[in-house]
Every structure is written in structure tokens, then in C-alpha cells.
Structure 1
Amino acid sequence: MVFKKMLGALGVGGPSVDTVLSNPNTRPGLPLTGQVNLTGGKNDVELAHITLGLVTRIEVDSPHGGDHSTVGEFHRTAVAGRTKLAAGQQLSIPFQVDMPWETPVTDVYGQRLHGMTMGLRTEVAIDRAIDKGDLDHVAVHPLPVQERILEAFSRLGFRFKGADLEYGRLHGVHQSLPFYQEIEFYPGPQYAHGISEVELTFVANPQTVEVVLEFDKRGGMFVGGHDAYGRYTVPHSHADTADWAQVVDGWVRQAVEARQTFFASRGGFAGMGGHGKSHGHGGHRGGGMGGMVAGAALGVAGGMIAGEMIEEAFEDDGGDFGDFGE
């Protein structure tokens, strides 16, 4: 997708910017490439810098109670420092944005996860005048291990409920970003007697993916419901070597059958229980239930709907772009 915008903050007759992505589809850890095309205005100018930022919507707990969503920038890449742009000059600057390994997933099998938005923002500065430009839509697809696990939940009958980003930390899990993604499922029929909901979180790094599960367990006649937690470390190299439906079934059955937080995983992957969540000012929000969507030939349980364009998704934020940055 392409956007072209007169840099209004830099004055009438100023330069315009047209940012073009080579391909808006990417994965965590992979580069996002393109070029920033500048056209000079009526006068010669010297640009102080050109910077690109990844922007997304995050759920934050209010210190006074309740929660709200805000749009924040969480990763920045410098495209150019001081650059002279003559009147009417056309200048094209290539860029590469290396996606953080913990970048949340927005699209699965070509379908947008309901509740997820992601954009690339172009910032151009001349002296003290800064124009943050528009947003270019970015689609972040899962890593192979993440895709296999999501597919396994689908095969086991889990139904997608919603996804969001929570501002906060996972206990015992190394995070470089100050938020984490929750992908929520309703249980398959064979598990519905024991759990009412599952929240899945991926925290990836170059070698492995941490898989964190939170199970909302149903209560009985004399026993109240409670949460159970599981944490599993999965190497990227195991993406195509495991029976993922069997592995995930083992994880879920441990949560259903255990009388206390479980500490072991199945299938040879390191696991430990009781990760806990520290929200700081972050909160918890459940997404709305979606319909069923066929994902590729394998089929993935749905609720993943084609998302709104990023401009529409963010249009009600009134330009309130905070920084969740590194």
C-alpha cells in the first residue's frame, strides 16, 4: 500500500512524502523493506531526519480502574539523517526495518486476527517541525512454529475468540517489548467440561519460541474455578518434526486434569507452570467472538476477519501516538 501526504506541519508549499513497501507481508525477525520517496516543495529545505516507526494498538490499565486502548510506537528505525532537498527535487531513499522477534502476529493464513492492527509510520523533521505522516498497513504472519501450534488448536476443535496486546510483563519470561499478545480461544468440545477459555502468548527470540498458556478452569459444585498456567520452550527447528496436535493436546489435558498448576510439558519440550502476569498499568481485555474462517487447505478455526485499513482502525485516536519503545 502507498500513501502520499503533504507535510502540513512543515508549512504550505513544503515537501511531500510517498512511502512504498516492497511487500507489506512479513514475519517476526524478518526485514520489512521499501523506499521513502520525497518531493521538494517551493523552497530548498534541509531535513533533520527521516525515521520509521512500527505502531500498534495496546490495552492499558488505568491507575484509577478500568482499561483503555491506546496507539503506541514500539520500534524505530532511522532512514536518513540531515538531508538537503531542493525545491521540486525528487529523492528516493531505500530502507530496511528489521522486525523485532516479539512482534505480535496480525494475520494467519491471509486473514486478519480480529482485534489486531499494525502500521508503519513515517516521521520527517525539519529543525523543530516534525510531521508524523500517515500509516502504512503491515501484515505480520506467524513463524513456522507459531503457525503449527495455531493449526493444532484448530484441529483440536478450539474456536478463535479474539486477540489483543496487553501492556505488562510475563513472570519469568524475558521480554524486550513492554507488552505481550494474547490470542484467545474457546475450548474444543472434548475439553469444555474442564476449561472455559484458553489464552495463548508467543514470545520469540532467534533460537526459540516461549509458549505461555493460561487456562480458565471451570469450577465444580463445591470447587470454584481458577486459572492454570503453562510455559513451554520450543526450538524453531522443531516446527516440522513434532506431532503438534498431540503436543498441544498434552498441554491442554494437563491443565484439565491437574489439581494444581502443572510443571511439565509433553513431547520433549521444556515446560514450567505458573508464569503469572504483571500488567503494571496494563490490563486484561477479552475480544468478541468471531465466526469461522477456512485457513488455507488445512483449515483454521476462525473469528479471523479481514481487518480494516490501518487508517480507519486508528482514525479515532486523534493523533495520540505514544511511545512503547525500546
Structure 2
Amino acid sequence: MLKKLLASVGIGKATVDTLLLTDELIAGQTFDIEVIIKGGDVSQHLNGIELAIMAQAKAESEVGDEEVTYNKNVVLQHWLQELNVEVQPQETITRHFSLDLHSEVPASSFHGQQIAKVWLQTGLDIKNGIDGSDNDPLTIHPSPTQLAVLEVIEQSGYSLFKIDLEVGGVRGENFSSHLPCYQEYEFKQQSRSLFGAKEIEVTFVDNGHETGVLIEIDRLFLGDGYRSISIPNHCSSIEQVRPYIEKIL
């Protein structure tokens, strides 16, 4: 009885560990995982496994007369895998799953550097108990189309100086985002540059077939302006995407 009571408040309960079978990802890709459940000190009924793609994004809130920026954990995707099994003390249950990463999930790695916190969170839905949980960081790279766009801008005389993940959504001509956050690549003008802009901010919205590119341009004396275009995802080289970017800049 004491063990059951302790398990109900999280002591001696079943635990979960998730193994990523695909080390590096691109948004829109299918990846495989192995979920290992280890029974605790008493038998417990498992209703199911909850899986979620999470990200940490910047959010803003007004406190009095001031605007405060803080980090917020947001859910990008969510799955519930039904189990409805009884896990016995110290028993090990293993399940394999294939998950489809949303095409708009932000990149977490750029040229070997971490640029955002994105992870897979695994939880156990335990009857009359506190969920066990496990967090696994995800390494997600920009798509070839996105990399080509960023390279075109750099070759045009701009240097990438900041990458942000922000709460909210974006909209361009013929496309709009669907996740609760968006990623922004910010470039600054070098001594010699094309397009006559002081700063350029780039956001991508990939629908799986084409990539929407939203660009905010800060031109000296003219202020900010927005341009957008959609690029087919089969355009993955600098030569292929350059005409699209030059068309709007």
C-alpha cells in the first residue's frame, strides 16, 4: 500500500527513456524513435505515451509601461500513442514509432552551431499517477533551399549576425505560417553590398513543396519594407534561388 501511495506521487513510479534513431534532421522529414519504459516498484496501468516537439522562443509581454521579453516553451507538434497496458515492477516495455516532423519546424543547428532549442518530449500517461517524462534535444538543419537563400544574401555583401526564434506567426504573398513561432535570420550590411539595405531579416515558411521567403528590408532614409516570394523546393543551389531573391530585392 505504501509503495502504491508513493508511486502515485511520483516516487518509485515507471520511467521512460527515448532513443533517437535518426541523429540529424531536416524539417518535413520522417524520423524513428525507440521508447523504453521501465516499471517502478509497483504495477501501474499505462494509458499511453505522449510525444511532443517543443521549442523555446522569445515572447513579449507588457508589464505596466514596459515591454518585457522572456523565453517561452511552445508546443510545435503533439502525438498520443495509446498503450492501455499494465507495466509490472521492473518490467521493460519497448515501443518503436515513426514520426513526421512538420515542414515549418525551425532549425536548431546552423553550420555546426546551436541556434535554437528544439526537443522531443516524451511523457507517460499513467492512471492515478504523475507522468514520467524524458527530453531529447533535436538537431535540425535548414533545408537546402533555405541554405541557398542565406548564401545568396551573404554573397551580396551582408553578414549574418543574429538568429532568433520568436512567438507569433508570419504572412507573405500566397503563404502563411501555422506553428506558434517563427525563425528570423538577421543580416547586416558590409562595406560593399547590393540591394542598398542596412539590414535584411529573412523568415522561411516551408509547406513541403515550396518555401515561402519573407524578407524585411531596412533601407537608409526609407525605413522598413516587406517583400515575399515562394521558391520551389527542388531549387536547392545558389544558382537556382538567386533569380528569385534578386527579383524581390
TM-score (norm 2): 0.86
Which protein has the bigger strand share? 2
What's the secondary structure of 2:176's corresponding residue? coil
Residue 33 (structure 1) aligns with: 32
Identify if the C-alpha distance between structure 1 residues 193 and 52 changes in structure 2 by more than 3 Å, giving closer, same or farther.
closer
What's the secondary structure of 1:103's corresponding residue? coil
- The 2-side partners of 1:9 and 1:74 are apart by 29
Q: What is the aligned residue count? A: 239
Higher relative contact order (CA 8 A, sep 6+): 1
Map residues 1-326 of structure 1 onto 2, 5 A cutoff.
11-64=10-63, 65-113=67-115, 116-131=116-131, 133-172=133-172, 173-191=175-193, 194-219=196-221, 225-240=222-237, 242-245=239-242, 247-252=244-249
Tell me if the contact between 1:121 and 1:132 (Cα under 8 Å) persists in the aligned partners. Answer: no
Identify if the C-alpha distance between structure 1 residues 155 and 191 changes in structure 2 by more than 3 Å, giving closer, same or farther.
closer
Tell me if the contact between 2:8 and 2:128 (Cα under 8 Å) persists in the aligned partners. Answer: no
* Aligned partner letter, 2:70: H
Q: Note the C-alpha offset of 1:33.
A: 1.3
Q: Deviations over 1:142-172 (max 9, x none)?
A: 1121121122223333222111222223244
* Aligned partner letter, 1:204: D
What's the secondary structure of 1:194's corresponding residue? coil
* Structure 1 spans left out of the alignment, 5+ residues: 1-6, 220-224, 253-326
* Aligned partner letter, 1:43: V
Identify if the C-alpha distance between structure 1 residues 165 and 8 changes in structure 2 by more than 3 Å, giving closer, same or farther.
farther
Q: Note the C-alpha offset of 1:127.
A: 2.0
Tell me if the contact between 1:197 and 1:217 (Cα under 8 Å) persists in the aligned partners. Answer: yes
TM-score (norm 1): 0.67
Tell me if the contact between 1:156 and 1:245 (Cα under 8 Å) persists in the aligned partners. Answer: no
Q: Note the C-alpha offset of 1:26.
A: 0.6
Tell me if the contact between 1:157 and 1:188 (Cα under 8 Å) persists in the aligned partners. Answer: yes
* Structure 2 spans left out of the alignment, 5+ residues: 1-5
Tell me if the contact between 1:156 and 1:188 (Cα under 8 Å) persists in the aligned partners. Answer: no
Tell me if the contact between 1:107 and 1:141 (Cα under 8 Å) persists in the aligned partners. Answer: yes
Tell me if the contact between 1:9 and 1:131 (Cα under 8 Å) persists in the aligned partners. Answer: no
Tell me if the contact between 2:30 and 2:101 (Cα under 8 Å) persists in the aligned partners. Answer: yes
Identify if the C-alpha distance between structure 1 residues 34 and 163 changes in structure 2 by more than 3 Å, giving closer, same or farther.
same
Amino-acid identity (%)? 25
Q: Deviations over 1:263-304 (max 9, x none)?
A: xxxxxxxxxxxxxxxxxxxxxxxxxxxxxxxxxxxxxxxxxx
Tell me if the contact between 1:184 and 1:200 (Cα under 8 Å) persists in the aligned partners. Answer: yes
Q: Note the C-alpha offset of 1:246.
A: 5.5
Q: Note the C-alpha offset of 1:112.
A: 2.2
What's the secondary structure of 1:191's corresponding residue? coil
